Amino acid sequence: MARVSQGAARSLRPDVRGDQIHWLEAGQSEACDRYLAIMEMLRIALNRGLCLGLEEYESHFAFYAPGASYLRHRDQFRHDDSRTVSVIVYLNADWLPEHGGALRLHPEGLAMRDISPVGSRIAVFLSADMLHEVLPATRDRLSLTGWFRRRA
Ligand X SMILES: O=C(O)CCC(=O)C(=O)O
Cα four-point dihedral sign 48, 32, 105, 115: positive
Nearer to Fe ion among residue 33 and residue 107 (C-beta): 107
The site that binds ligand X (CB under 6 A) totals a number of residues, namely: 10
- Contact positions with ligand X (CB under 6 A) in 113-132: 117, 132
Taking the complex as a whole, how short is the minimal distance between the CB of residue 152 and ligand X, in angstroms?
18
Q: How far is CA 72 from CA 81, 107, 133, 142, in A?
A: 18, 12, 4, 19
Helix (H) or strand (E) holding 85: strand 83-90
Choosing among ligand X, Fe ion, none, which partner's interface includes residue 145 (Cβ < 5 to 8 Å by kind)?
Answer: ligand X
By CB under 6 A, name the binding residues for ligand X.
62, 70, 75, 88, 103, 117, 132, 134, 143, 145
